[in-house]
Amino acid sequence: SLCVKQPIGKELFQQFCWAQPDLQNYMTLLKDLVGQTGTRMQPNVTFLLKCKKFKLRKELHRFLSQEPFNKYQDSMFFDRFLQWKKLERSQINKKLFRQYRLLGKGGFGEVWACQVRATGMMYACKKLDKGHVKRRRGENLALNEKQLLEEVDSRFVVNLAYSYETKRTLCMVLTMMSGGDLKFHIYNMGQRGLDRNRVCFYAAEVCCGLTHLHEKLIAYRDLKPENILLDDKGHIRISDLGLAVKLSEGRLVRGHVGTLGYMAPEVINGHKYGLCVDWWGLGCLIYEMTAGKPPFKGRKENVMRQELELRITKEQETYDEKFDEEVKSICTALLNKNPKERLGCSGSGGRDVKSHPFFQEINFRMLEAGLIEAPFTPDPRHVYCSDVQDIDEFSTVRGVVHTDKDDQFYKQFNTGSVPLSWQNEVTSPNRKVKGQREVRPCSSCRGRLQGSRSLQTGSQRRPLGSLRSCRKSSETDGGVNRSRDHLDLRGGAALTLLGLVAFSAFSALST
């Protein structure tokens, strides 16, 4: 886990191995294997060859996890890793972020665009009003969503980067999704509904997201267009895990949970259910993207709750000329009222859904690796949501008395940065935000940077630089006074310049 799943740990362990002459051949072989696995020719490689590569990589990992890893723990590379981990666990507060415009409002609070001062990374900050949470007894919902988001690391599910509290709010800093939600694209972009390519692409990415959740035994339970968000590249992520539930192996749950019109028949009927309810939701989503309306409700039709539930449990959905045979086939299979016969509800789960002819043009290996471009890219000059002025001001609840029990809940919520998200942020390539000046080193650091060797060359110098820092050249940007921090790179090579700037800035903010 330290050297495979954690980006900083992986980078430092690789630096250590490249610095050891007796390990360089192993690292070269491992690099070649990883490179071949990620190529676009992978689908054409025979199954036998894939198995041999997998076994070889497994043996390499097993070898490196023994004596080389023991030596690594006694090296300065591991010392640097521990220093980064200490920084990762620094206390987080609102001073770390710049706040921008209001993005939306929910039942417990508001969502604002924000930016990490140290790295320039943009996020969406979900602020839950403490008074509203307590008055509506939403502590379990808020904590459940936060804990599930910490557990999931998927490019198809909104990721949690930080969680902290202020005097009046509980804050979750999430992946920034600037392309709007799927409902807006279905109903507010000209003709209702989406073209076939977009329907297939979005359905495939949602399928991947559900599969990743199901691998963690998480039932999402609230799949609907409003909860599917687009990023600036046109890729989607599943958001809002407030109603999701973590299941035990083989255990079913019972609960009337979800959104009216998208709940599976077994949920409405009060039966026990498991992960199958999410595949029903995917069927509703594909149907609505294609038809421009939900499967059991007409456009602008006002239907009483009991009537809508009766349609879902008893009536069969209808299909018009917008549905070709493959779309109709997958919708029929996913909207099967019997969960035992529903597509995706067998032992294979998401693999059965991915193998349906509807997805025959989708290479799921490339999709999960982020190698397929989205069929639609949002215009960065366009706001894909209702006018912000139409969002009512969120009222703060007053007169709510906080107790020691509330403080315990806030302590559980306020855990700071999420390790994987934080490490990905500080080790990512330089991210320039539009209108933001490029981060450059000061003159005293520039020479050291130019003299440092590349990570790929297996430098034996001190990794990631020392912990000494210098602070120079303050600048004012948009009325906000900022100072640039630069680590002393003497005798060291950095993960990225951005990571080093983040390192020093986080240190300054946490003290």
- The pLDDT confidence band at residue 209, using thresholds 50, 70 and 90, is very high
Please tell me what DSSP assigns to residue 300. Answer: T
Q: What does the DSSP 8-state code read for residue 116?
A: E
Give CA 231 to chain center in angstroms.
11
Query: What was the pLDDT predicted at 2?
Result: 77
Q: How confident is the model at residue 361, as a pLDDT?
A: 95
- Asked if residue 182 lies in contact with residue 225, where contact means CB atoms within 8 angstroms, the answer is yes
Contact 153, 159 (CB under 8 A): yes
Average pLDDT over residues 60-69: 89
Tell me how far apart the alpha carbons of residues 461 and 450 are, in angstroms, rounded to a whole number: 14
- Judged by average pLDDT, the poorest of 37-41, 63-67, 319-323 is 37-41
**pLDDT single digits (tens) 255-287:** 999 999 999 999 999 999 999 999 999 999 999
Q: What is the mean pLDDT of residues 476-485?
A: 35
Per-residue pLDDT, 484: 33
CA distances from 448 to 63, 84, 503 (A): 35, 21, 17
| Residue position matching structure tokens 């919708």 | 331
Is there a binding annotation on residue 126?
Answer: yes
pLDDT at 346: 84
Q: Are 158 and 237 in contact (CB under 8 A)?
A: yes
pLDDT in tens, 133-152: 888 888 888 999 999 999 99
The answer to whether 80 and 463 have CB atoms below 8 angstroms apart is: yes
232 included as an active-site residue: no
Q: Amino acid identity of 290?
A: T
Give me the residues paired with residue 471 across strands: 485
CA distances from 432 to 115, 143, 338 (A): 12, 33, 50
The two tokens of residue 176 are 């920034």
* pLDDT-based confidence at residue 28 (cuts at 50, 70, 90): confident
73-79, long-range: CB < 8 A, 24+ apart: 75/16, 76/462, 76/463, 77/12, 77/13, 77/15, 77/16, 77/19, 77/463, 78/12, 78/16
Q: Are residues 126 and 229 in contact, defined by beta-carbon separation less than 8 angstroms?
A: no
How are strands ordered across the β-sheet holding 160-165?
Answer: 97-105, 109-116, 122-129, 169-175, 160-165, 416-417
Do residues 465 and 471 touch, judged by C-beta distance below 8 A?
no
Q: Which domains are assigned to the chain?
A: 7-32+45-89 (1.10.167.10), 94-178+392-426 (3.30.200.20), 180-383 (1.10.510.10)
Which pLDDT band, with edges at 50, 70 and 90, does 488 fall under? very low
In tens, the pLDDT along 357-379 reads 999 999 999 999 999 999 999 99
CA distances from 77 to 104, 227, 309, 463, 507 (A): 44, 42, 60, 6, 20
Write phi, then psi, for 219 (nearest 5 degrees).
-90, 125
- Type of residue at 34: V
Dihedral-angle region of residue 347 (phi above 0 means left; psi in -120 to 50 means alpha; beta otherwise): alpha
Could you write out the DSSP letters of every residue in 441-464?
--HHHHHHHHHSPPGGGT--SEET
At residue 506 the predicted structure's pLDDT band, cuts being 50, 70 and 90, is low
Q: How far is 410 from 134, CA to CA, in rounded Å? A: 11
Instruction: Tell me the residue length of the chain.
Output: 511
Predicted structure pTM score: 0.78
Does the structure show a pLDDT above 60 at 351?
Answer: yes
The Cα–Cα gap between 234 and 197 comes to 13
8-state DSSP, 38: T
Using 50, 70 and 90 to split pLDDT, how confident is the model at 299?
Answer: confident
How do strand 462-463 and strand 492-493 relate by DSSP bridges?
A: parallel
Q: Residue 467 phi/psi, 5° resolution? A: -85, -5
Query: In this structure, what is the dihedral angle of CA atoms 87, 90, 93, 97, given to the nearest 10 degrees?
Result: 10
Burial of 121 (0-12, 13-18, 19+ CB in 10 A): buried
| Contact between residue 173 and residue 103 where contact means Cβ atoms under 8 Å apart | no
Residue pLDDT, tens place only, 29-56: 888 776 654 444 444 444 444 566 677 8
Per-position DSSP letters for 121-148, written without gaps between them: -EEEEEEEEHHHHHHTT-HHHHHHHHHH
More confident residue, 343 or 505: 343
At 215 the pLDDT is 95
Q: How far is CA 243 from CA 138, 415, 463, 490, in A?
A: 11, 21, 44, 50
pLDDT in tens, 242-259: 899 999 887 899 999 999
List the catalytic residue out of 222, 231, 278, 485.
Answer: 222
Mean pLDDT (whole number) for 82-103: 90
User: Of the spans 25-29, 199-203, 412-416, 491-495, which averages the highest pLDDT?
Assistant: 199-203
Least confident of 227-241, 370-384, 424-438: 424-438
pLDDT band at 223 (very low <50, low <70, confident <90, very high): very high
Q: Residue 113: is its pLDDT beyond 80?
A: yes
Q: Rounded mean pLDDT of 465-481?
A: 34
Name the least confident of 56-65, 224-233, 417-426, 458-467. 458-467
Rounded Cα–Cα distance for residues 111 and 199 (Å): 27
Statement: residue 435 has pLDDT above 90: no
Q: What is the pLDDT of residues 460-469, one digit of tens each?
A: 333 443 333 3
How many Å is the Cα radius of gyration of the chain?
A: 25
What percent of the chain shows pLDDT beyond 90? Answer: 52
